[in-house]
Amino acid sequence: MSGNSILVINAGSSSLKFALFCLDTAGALNLAARGLVDGIGSRPQFKVKDAMGQALLERELEVTDVREVKDAIALAGLWLGTHFPGEALLAVGHRVVHGGADYAQPVRVDDTVLADLEKLTPLAPLHQPHNLAAIRALRETQPQLPQIACFDTAFHRSHPQLADIYALPWDYYEAGVRRYGFHGSSYEYIASVLPQVAPSIAPGRVIVAHLGSGASLCALRGGKSVDSTMGFSPLDGIPMGTRPGALDPGVLLYLVGQRGMTATALEKLLYKQSGLLGLSGVSNDMRLLLESAEPRAQLAVDYFVHYIAKEIGALAAVLGGLDALVFTAGIGENAPEIRARIVSACAWLGITLNQEANQRGDACISTTDSTASAWVVPTNEELMIARHALAQMQPGQAPQH
């Protein structure tokens, strides 16, 4: 294999995900390998799979080998260079959680862009620093290599202003306190494939449920985001693995004023100790909760389903009705029991579940007589980022879907 390629990087606090996409003669991007360096700084592991999901590498590393993100990038780069020696990198696309109010499209990173994105760190303290650390590491070692930032928030810039404001003094809105929405690359990918997967619903009123460790819902009309459950930060909306979702601000005032909680302790509580983990006391992994006989584990699952159904109702009201509900991401794609319970709670919207299709994980999981349909559509955020990175290197061309 030889030619041009795009590398996609998603850097977290203790992990680095990467994917290499090769450009074929027709101009299409094809996955060559997908990898993960996990346990950075603690118990690092390096795993790589090919396009078919077959393991190419599984190796435990010494903590001294991978102390920080830049070490993981160097390790991934060395492996890719060895196994794909003929590939010339056109660009690197990065998942960057927050683009703020100014960045509504992917952008090539320069000094000004990097400085702007660093100012947004307080809005996504557990994501943004690590996203930017990967960019800085590559700028140090390969300054000539184009790097493209693709924002979780960008897809939601199509919201009407009414969906993005808070009922606070206007000065706060102008200073950036507004609803941004997240998981944009996932929602954009789903919107891009719906015309092929389900052409009858693509132009209509669709709610996409991105259900994973991080979870949110997005209301689409004609493939454009018109509202979403996440707001100013990735903490808002429906409950998640370790994040609470929507929370009365009075709770935060109480924790600070009456319990003496510091900002650091509050951040840890909200990002790492709440959600399914906090409720259950067992795990943030839905698979383990579904298997558990612990009453609180079942309570956590019930809470998850209840609030998702509640927010689906709210977004259906925003859309003025519903044509389709689409499940995606880890739980959405792989937990038929959760899908079944959510669809059952949304029966009033005209969805009737096809039990057999749901168990098989078919694309369409509703019955033919449903007035609103239900679907399972695997997401592919990495491919969406790769398409945007390629488009940035080909001025005037939109991403090929």
Residues annotated catalytic, as ranges = 152
Instruction: Dig out the tokens for 153 from the structure.
Output: 């928030």
Nearest alpha-carbon partner for 96 in 150, 51, 18: 150
R_g of the chain, CA atoms, integer Å: 21
- Alpha carbon dihedral 37, 38, 43, 46, in 10-degree steps, equals -30
Q: Does an H or E element contain 18, and which?
A: strand 15-23
Q: Which residues, other chains included, contact 38 with Cβ-Cβ below 8 Å and sequence gap of 6+?
A: 14, 15, 44, 45, 47
Cβ-count burial 300-312 (b if 16+ within 10 Å, e if not): bbebbbebbbebb
- Tokens 């259900």 belong to residue: 211
Q: How far apart are CA 255 and CA 234, in angstroms?
A: 20
Element (H, E) at 345: helix 336-345
Q: Quote the Cα angle for 158-220-152, to 5°.
A: 55
d(CA 117, CA 97): 10
Q: What is the dihedral of CA 329, 333, 337, 343, to 10 degrees?
A: 80
- CA dist 104 and 73 (Å) reads 27
Cα 327 to Cα 339: distance, rounded to the nearest angstrom: 8
* H or E, element range at 327: strand 324-328
Backbone torsions φ then ψ of 103, nearest 5 degrees: -105, 100
Q: Give the span between the Cα atoms of 401 and 396, in whole angstroms.
A: 15
Q: Which parts of 124-274 fold into alpha helices (H)?
A: 128-141, 161-164, 170-174, 184-197, 249-257, 263-272
Q: Report the alpha-carbon angle 194-198-204, nearest 5.
A: 75
